[in-house]
C-alpha cells in the first residue's frame, strides 16, 4: 500500500498529546478531616485525579486514539495498484438492447452491468476523463470526456432497456473517434455479446469486454400474421414460437381478440425447436389480435418481453367504382389494376337512373334526362353542361402543363410529351382548383384541362379532353394520374399506413390526397402504447414517425379522419437468443495503439478510512454521554 500525501502522518504527534491529557488530571485543594470513612469515594476520586499517575485502562482513551489514527490514515490517502489496464482516459460502452432485460442474473442483466460499471468508475482516479456511450437501437454519447463523477453516476442510474437491437458497431466507431484524440484510452464494453462486430472494424484504443449473463433459457413469439380467408368470412392467425433453450419445454399460448380471450393451446417444444401454429375462425371484424406465452412455473424463461405479440387486422372496404363508357380499354385497365377498387362497367345506352357508387366515372355523353348518381364524380370530356360546370366551346390542340408547381396530384407526373387533338372549353368554377391547364397562345391560354373541387357535399374531377383524342393513355403518366385522382376521390378507403413495424423503425405516414392541402399545416397525432400523445407537422403531405421504442399498439389520427392502428413487435432472433457470448477483440477487432497500456490502476481507500473514523467518533460520543442518554430515555418512557 502506498500513500499520496504521506506528510499527513506528521499529525501522529497528536497521539501522545491525548495520552498526556489523560495523565494530567485536575488537582484539588487538601483539607484535614477527622475520618475518611465517610469520604472513601472522595479519596478514590482524588487518587484518580492525581497527576502523572499510572495510566489506567480507559475505553474512551482507546477510542479517541483509534479515531485519530484512522483519520490520519485517511488524510494520507492510501492506495493500491490493481494491476488492470487503466490508461489516461476511459470509454464505457453499455449494451441497452432488449436481451439485457433477461433475469438470469439478479435482478437483470442491465442492473448487473450497472453495478459493475459503478465499481469500475470508483476504481478510476478522479483525473481520468470518462466517456459514456449506450448501444441500444441507436448509439448515443451521454457523456464525453467528463470529470464529473456525479454526472456519470446519474447516467448509470437512468439507464434502461430499449425494445430493440444493439448498434454496437456505431458505438465502437464513436468510441474509436474519441480515442483517436486521447492517447492511452481503454474501452470497456458491457454486453451479453448478442450483437456482432464486423471483422474489418479498426478501433483505436485497448478493448476490454465484460460478459453479462449466465443462461440462454428463453422462449419467444417470433411471428404473428393475420390472413383473411378467400371468401372473406373470417381471419386466420399464423403464429411462430421458438424455444431457444437446450431443454424441452411445455408452454401455454393464449390468443386474445380485441381484449377478449379467444383461444388457448398447450405446446411442447424440444430444445432449439421452432413451431408454426394456426388459429382459425377469428371473426372478420376483429381489429387487434394478441398472442401471449403464459408464464410457466416449471419452465425457465428469462426474457419475458418477447412472450407477447400484436397484430392489426386491416379489413379494407373495397372502393366501388362504376365506369360509364361505351368501351375504353386503357381506362378500364388502369382502374381495374388499382388495389382495393371494385370496378363495374355500365353501357351509357342502358344508364337510365344510375345507381350510386363510391365513385362514378362518366366517359360518355349521357342523355339529358339522366340523373347524376350519388357519390363522387369523375367526368371525362363532357359534352353537356351540368349543375356543376358549363361547357362553352371547343379547344383546338391545347398544350397541357401543370397549373402550378408542387401539386400533390401531379407528383412524379410529366405532361411534356402528351399531345391532345382537341378538348372542351369549361370555365373554371368558383369551387374548383386547376390541375392541368392549356399553354397554347391566344384565348386558349390558361384554360383548364383538368380541375378538381368539392360542391354540394361531393367531390368532382373534370377532365376536359377525351382519351381517344390524345396519346395520353400511352404515356407512363396516365396510370399514375388515374391512381392519384381515384385516391383523392376516395381518401378514407385508400388510407395507407404499415400494419407492423420493428422497434425503433421509422413509420411513413402519407396523408391521403383528400386530406393533404398544399400550404396548409396538417397535424398528425400518434398515441403510443403507454397513452402518450405525440403531435407532428406534416411536410409535403408526409410524416416520418420514428418514436417506436415501445412494443404494442400505436394509433394514428389525422384531423377528423378515422383512426388507424399499427403494431410494433420484438420479432428479433438476435435479441431472443439470450445465451451470453464473449466478443473476441483479438480476432474480431483490429486494435491500434496498444503499446504503453500496461500500467496499473490506482485504487484509493481514503473514503473507507474516513467513514470508519466518523463511526469511531460517533461511538465515543455515545459512550461518554451514556448516562445522560439513559436518563433522557427514562424520562421519555415515563412521559408516555
Which residue is listed with cell 485504487?
603
391 and 346 in a common domain: yes
What number is the average pLDDT over the span 254-262? 94
- Residue where a domain terminates, one of 422, 457, 489: 489
pLDDT per residue over 71-125, tens digit each? 998 888 887 766 554 568 899 999 999 999 999 998 999 999 999 999 999 888 8
Q: Is 412 left (phi over 0), alpha (psi -120 to 50) or beta?
A: left
What are the residues facing 261 on neighbouring strands? 256
15 band by pLDDT with thresholds 50, 70 and 90: confident
The grid cell for 213 is 449473463
pLDDT per residue over 23-59, tens digit each? 776 555 567 767 666 666 665 655 555 555 566 677 8
pLDDT per residue over 275-295, tens digit each? 999 999 999 889 999 999 998
192 and 122 in a common domain: yes
Exposed e or buried b per residue across 270-309, where buried means at least 16 C-beta atoms within 10 angstroms of its C-beta: eeebebebebeebeeebebbbbbbeeeeebebbbebbbbb
Q: Alpha-carbon distance 434 to 437, whole Å?
A: 7
Predicted pLDDT at 60: 82
Predicted pLDDT at 292: 96
In Å, what is the CA distance from 311 to each residue of 45, 292, 316? 89, 12, 15
Which residue is listed with cell 401543370?
402
For the ranges 77-86, 129-138, 318-327, the lowest mean pLDDT is seen at: 77-86
What number is the average pLDDT over the span 306-319? 86
Nearest to 525, CA basis, from 539, 537, 540: 537
147 and 11 in a common domain: no
435 and 345 in a common domain: yes
Predicted pLDDT at 513: 54
Give 45 or 234, the one with higher predicted confidence.
234
- Give the rounded distance of the alpha carbon of 104 from its chain centre: 24
462 and 329 in a common domain: yes
User: Over the chain, what is the mean pLDDT?
Assistant: 84
191 and 75 in a common domain: no
Contact 161, 171 (CB under 8 A): no
Claim: this prediction has a pTM higher than 0.75: no
30 and 129 in a common domain: no
Q: Alpha-carbon distance 597 to 271, whole Å?
A: 44
- Residue where a domain terminates, one of 437, 466, 489: 489
In a domain, 306, yes or no: no
Burial of 163 (0-12, 13-18, 19+ CB in 10 A): buried
Nearest to 599, CA basis, from 89, 94, 181: 89
Predicted pLDDT at 61: 83
634 band by pLDDT with thresholds 50, 70 and 90: confident
96 and 74 in a common domain: no
Angle in degrees, CA 453, 458, 461, rounded to 5: 40
pLDDT per residue over 163-222, tens digit each? 999 999 899 999 989 988 887 888 999 999 877 676 667 778 888 888 899 999 999 999
In a domain, 558, yes or no: no
93 and 75 in a common domain: no
Residue 539 gets which letter from DSSP?
B
Burial of 35 (0-12, 13-18, 19+ CB in 10 A): exposed
Exposed e or buried b per residue across 608-635, where buried means at least 16 C-beta atoms within 10 angstroms of its C-beta: ebeebbeebbeebeeeeeeeeeeeeeee
Looking only at the bridges linking them, the beta strands covering 564-568 and 500-501 are parallel
- Residue where a domain terminates, one of 451, 468, 489: 489
In a domain, 252, yes or no: no
Total of domains in the chain: 3
What number is the average pLDDT over the span 415-432? 93
In a domain, 262, yes or no: no
Exposed e or buried b per residue across 215-230, where buried means at least 16 C-beta atoms within 10 angstroms of its C-beta: bbbbbbbbbbebebee
Count the Cβ atoms, other than its own, within 10 Å of residue 63: 17
Predicted pLDDT at 51: 57
461 and 325 in a common domain: yes
Whether 390 has a pLDDT exceeding 60, the answer reads: yes
Nearest to 50, CA basis, from 76, 77, 30: 30
What number is the average pLDDT over the span 593-601? 42
In a domain, 628, yes or no: no
Highest mean pLDDT among 94-103, 407-416, 443-452: 94-103
| CATH number of the domain enclosing 418 | 3.40.50.880
Which residue is listed with cell 398515441?
527
Predicted pLDDT at 43: 59
Residue 381 gets which letter from DSSP?
S
In a domain, 199, yes or no: yes
Q: Provide the domain limits for residue 110.
A: 89-214+580-599
In a domain, 511, yes or no: no
Whether 400 has a pLDDT exceeding 90, the answer reads: yes
What number is the average pLDDT over the span 352-364? 78
Nearest to 191, CA basis, from 207, 215, 168: 168
Of the chain, the percentage scoring pLDDT greater than 70 comes to: 84
Enumerate residues 6+ apart whose C-beta is below 8 A from 530.
Answer: 550, 552
Enumerate residues 6+ apart whose C-beta is below 8 A from 362.
Answer: 324, 377, 378, 379, 380, 382
Predicted pLDDT at 58: 78
The grid cell for 560 is 377528423
413 and 367 in a common domain: yes
469 and 426 in a common domain: yes
Contact 359, 322 (CB under 8 A): yes
In a domain, 119, yes or no: yes
Q: Alpha-carbon distance 331 to 248, whole Å?
A: 60
Predicted pLDDT at 443: 73
pLDDT per residue over 456-497, tens digit each? 778 899 999 999 999 999 999 999 999 999 988 885 554 567
Which residue is listed with cell 431443454?
247
Q: Alpha-carbon distance 380 to 360, whole Å?
A: 11
Amino acid at each position: 500500500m502506498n500513500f499520496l500525501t504521506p506528510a499527513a502522518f506528521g499529525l501522529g504527534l497528536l497521539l501522545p498529546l491525548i495520552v498526556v491529557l489523560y495523565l494530567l488530571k485536575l488537582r484539588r485543594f487538601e483539607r484535614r478531616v477527622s475520618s475518611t470513612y465517610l469520604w472513601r469515594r472522595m479519596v478514590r476520586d482524588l487518587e484518580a485525579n492525581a497527576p502523572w499517575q499510572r495510566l489506567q485502562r480507559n475505553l474512551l482513551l482507546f477510542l479517541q486514539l483509534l479515531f485519530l489514527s484512522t483519520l490520519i490514515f485517511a488524510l494520507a490517502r492510501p492506495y493500491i495498484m490493481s494491476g488492470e489496464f487503466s490508461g489516461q482516459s476511459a470509454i464505457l460502452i453499455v449494451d441497452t438492447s432488449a436481451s439485457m432485460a433477461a433475469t438470469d442474473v439478479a435482478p437483470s442483466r442491465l442492473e448487473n452491468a450497472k453495478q459493475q460499471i459503478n465499481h469500475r468508475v470508483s476504481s478510476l482516479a478522479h483525473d481520468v476523463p470518462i466517456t459514456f456511450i449506450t448501444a441500444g437501437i441507436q448509439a448515443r454519447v451521454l457523456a464525453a470526456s467528463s470529470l464529473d463523477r456525479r454526472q456519470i453516476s446519474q447516467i448509470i442510474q437512468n439507464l434502461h432497456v430499449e425494445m430493440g437491437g444493439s448498434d454496437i458497431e456505431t458505438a465502437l466507431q464513436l468510441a474509436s473517434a474519441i480515442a483517436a484524440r486521447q492517447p492511452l484510452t481503454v474501452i470497456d464494453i458491457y454486453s451479453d455479446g448478442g450483437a456482432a462486430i464486423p471483422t474489418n472494424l479498426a478501433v483505436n484504443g485497448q478493448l476490454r469486454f465484460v460478459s453479462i449473463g449466465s443462461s440462454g433459457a428463453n422462449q419467444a413469439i417470433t411471428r404473428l400474421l393475420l390472413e383473411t380467408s378467400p371468401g372473406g368470412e373470417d381471419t386466420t392467425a399464423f403464429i411462430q414460437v421458438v424455444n431457444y433453450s437446450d431443454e424441452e419445454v411445455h408452454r401455454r399460448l393464449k390468443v386474445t381478440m380485441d381484449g377478449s380471450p379467444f383461444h388457448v393451446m398447450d405446446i411442447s417444444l424440444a430444445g432449439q425447436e421452432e413451431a408454426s401454429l394456426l388459429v382459425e375462425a377469428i371473426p372478420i371484424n376483429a381489429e387487434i389480435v394478441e398472442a401471449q406465452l403464459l408464464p410457466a412455473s416449471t419452465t425457465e424463461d428469462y426474457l419475458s418481453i418477447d412472450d407477447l405479440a400484436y397484430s392489426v387486422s386491416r379489413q379494407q372496404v373495397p372502393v366501388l367504382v362504376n365506369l360509364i363508357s361505351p368501351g375504353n380499354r386503357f381506362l378500364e385497365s388502369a382502374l381495374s389494376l388499382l388495389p382495393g377498387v371494385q370496378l363495374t362497367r355500365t353501357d351509357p345506352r342502358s344508364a337510365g337512373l344510375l345507381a350510386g357508387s363510391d365513385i362514378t366515372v362518366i366517359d360518355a355523353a349521357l342523355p339529358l334526362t339522366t340523373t347524376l348518381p350519388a357519390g363522387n364524380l369523375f367526368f371525362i370530356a363532357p359534352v353537356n353542361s351540368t349543375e356543376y360546370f358549363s361547357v362553352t366551346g371547343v379547344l383546338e390542340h391545347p398544350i397541357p402543363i401543370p397549373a402550378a408547381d408542387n401539386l400533390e396530384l401531379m407528383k412524379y407526373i410529366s405532361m411534356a410529351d402528351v399531345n391532345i387533338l382537341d378538348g372542351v372549353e369549361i370555365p373554371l368554377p368558383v369551387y374548383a382548383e386547376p390541375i392541368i391547364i392549356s399553354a397554347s397562345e391566344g384565348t386558349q391560354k390558361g384554360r383548364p384541362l383538368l380541375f378538381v373541387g368539392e360542391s354540394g357535399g361531393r367531390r368532382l374531377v373534370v377532365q376536359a379532353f377525351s382519351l381517344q383524342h390524345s396519346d395520353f393513355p400511352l404515356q407512363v403518366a396516365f396510370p399514375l394520374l388515374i391512381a392519384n385522382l381515384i385516391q383523392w376521390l376516395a381518401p378514407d378507403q385508400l388510407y395507407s399506413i404499415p400494419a407492423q413495424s420493428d422497434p425503433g423503425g421509422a413509420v411513413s405516414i402519407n396523408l391521403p390526397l383528400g386530406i393533404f392541402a398544399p400550404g396548409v399545416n396538417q397535424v398528425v397525432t400518434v398515441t403510443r402504447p403507454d397513452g402518450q400523445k405525440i403531435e407532428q407537422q406534416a411536410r409535403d403531405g408526409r410524416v416520418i414517425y420514428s418514436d417506436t421504442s415501445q412494443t404494442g399498439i400505436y394509433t394514428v389520427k389525422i384531423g377528423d379522419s378515422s383512426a388507424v392502428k399499427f403494431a410494433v413487435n420484438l420479432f428479433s432472433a438476435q435479441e431472443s437468443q439470450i445465451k451470453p457470448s464473449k466478443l473476441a477483440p483479438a480476432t474480431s477487432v483490429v486494435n491500434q495503439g496498444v503499446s504503453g497500456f500496461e500500467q496499473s490502476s490506482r485504487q484509493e481507500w481514503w473514503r473507507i478510512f474516513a467513514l470508519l473514523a466518523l463511526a469511531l467518533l460517533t461511538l465515543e460520543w455515545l459512550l461518554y454521554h451514556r448516562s445522560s442518554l439513559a436518563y433522557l430515555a427514562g424520562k421519555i418512557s415515563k412521559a408516555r
